[in-house]
Amino acid sequence: MLKEIARQGNAKQQQCAWESLTMSEQIRGQRLALTMISSIGSTATGTRRRTVYDAGNVYNLPGRLVRSEGSPKSRDRTVNEAYAGAGITYDLFKKVFARNSIDDRGMRLDSTVHYGKDYDNAFWNGQQMVYGDGDGELFNRFTIAIDVIAHELTHGVTQYEAGLEYQDQAGAMNESLSDVFGSLVKQYRRGQEAKDANWLIGERLFTKNVNGKGLRSMKEPGTAYDDPVLGRDPQPGHMKDYVKTREDNGGVHINSGIPNRAFYETAVRLGGHAWDKAGQIWYVALRDKLRPRSNFEDTAGLMMAVAGELYGAGSLEQKAVKDGWAEVGLKI
Ligand code: ASN
Ligand code: ZN
């Protein structure tokens, strides 16, 4: 409710709601509170504000400022990729979903590149995006994949909205939303329709030494790679194959295959650009309906409700959402 006011109210109402949100978050947890406070200097004008830092291959954040909004290109392509990727992600959220940055208040998009030595990951640390160079043997630099950049940035959006816990099904939903908007950013940049996209996450991230197409496949979870060193892609694409594990926070990067495929199935049924209808439904669910502990079944039901609100009860859109989730074993 406070979030709604902070979004829709007049200037004074927004300010009050925002202060309340910040205060309650302060009580609930330092990390989120800090992020919210840091974004108070946000602009409501709806312009991009990007900064890129270089950690110089150590593990300290944020590192040295190397590029900020409007400044010329760097000689370092990694810096330019982080900058451009944040820009396209901002654009999708702004133009398609009318969202002004991660916090919807124009928050600055901070990225650090060259984090650590041969670091094989990228992450959102609660305040900024962080990218490793990869080890060069198995992984290339993480900024090479625009959907990985958008994935990390979407973790920020989820933190401010649904606040999904990073554990078990809620955590896998959190992961899946990052893949969904990651993939949408890639498709948006390419101007692709749902049927023409390859639905891979992290294409080009693996070096030639790896037998794999990417990190994950939203269309066919479990088929992204099969490699002597990395093993086989462990993602299920149906509830009957749900993986019960204590690793990976209860398999957040594993079971995300199930909601990922539900999105793919919904998007291809609806046709056209995936961000237009399927993306709209997923976004409104993320913004207004999902809660920290929402599981897959909850999410499917809430998305049905959103589709009904946006397109009408019994609409083709609502039926596509229902069928999309049914395809992965979740009957609504
Ligand atoms: N790249 C991973 C992700 O964003 C890092 C992590 O495990 N949080 O999901
Ligand atoms: Zn993630």
Q: Is 75 within 8 Å of 52 (Cβ atoms)?
A: no
Residue 166 Cβ < 6 Å to ligand 1: no
- DSSP strand pairing (226-227 vs 231-232): antiparallel
pTM of the model: 0.88
**274: CA distance to ligand 1 center in Å?**
24
Number of the ligand closest to the Cα of 179:
2
Structural domains of the chain, ranges and CATH numbers in brackets: 2-144 (3.10.170.10), 168-326 (1.10.390.10)
Q: Which residues of 200-216 are buried (b: 16+ CB within 10 A; e: fewer)?
A: bbbbebbeeebebbbbb
Going by C-alpha positions, the residue among 143, 148, 147, 145 that lies closest to residue 132 is: 143
Q: Where are the beta strands (DSSP E) in 192-268?
A: 200-201, 216-217, 226-227, 231-232
- The pLDDT score that the predictor gives to residue 4 is 42
Is residue 166 helix, strand or coil?
coil
Residue 46 confidence (pLDDT): 86
Tell me what pLDDT residue 9 has: 44
**Residue closest to 272 by CA, chosen among 203, 184, 331, 211:** 184
Task: Evaluate: CB of 129 within 6 angstroms of ligand 1.
Answer: no
Residues with CB under 5 A from ligand 2 (ion): 175, 178
pLDDT for position 1: 31
State whether the beta carbon of 121 lies less than 6 angstroms from ligand 1: yes
CA 295, distance to chain mean position in Å, is: 17
Distance 280 CA to ligand 2 centre (A): 21
Residue by residue, DSSP assigns 248-294 as HHHHTTTTTHHHHHHHHHHHHHH-S-TTTTHHHHHHHIIIII--TT-
Distance 193 CA to ligand 1 centre (A): 27
**Res 185: pLDDT:** 99
Digitized pLDDT (tens) for each residue of the chain, 332 residues in all: 334 434 444 343 444 444 434 433 333 344 455 555 555 556 556 899 999 999 999 999 999 999 999 999 999 999 999 999 999 999 999 999 999 999 999 999 999 999 999 999 999 999 999 999 999 999 999 999 999 999 999 999 999 999 999 999 999 999 999 999 999 999 999 999 999 999 999 999 999 999 999 999 999 999 999 999 999 999 999 999 999 999 999 999 999 999 999 999 999 999 999 999 999 999 999 999 999 999 999 999 999 999 999 999 999 999 999 999 999 999 98
What are 263's two structure tokens?
Answer: 């999105």
For residue 298, the one-letter residue type is D
Element (H, E) at 123: strand 122-124
* Spatial separation of the C-alpha atoms in residues 327 and 325, rounded to whole Å: 5
CA distance 144 to 162: 28
Residues 303, 319 contacting (CB under 8 angstroms):
no
Residues with catalytic roles: 152, 253
- The runs of H, that is alpha helices, within the chain are 2-8, 11-28, 30-38, 77-91, 146-160, 168-190, 248-251, 257-270, 278-284, 296-311, 316-327
C-alpha 95/C-alpha 120 separation (Å) is: 32
Q: How far apart are CA 119 and CA 192, in angstroms?
A: 32
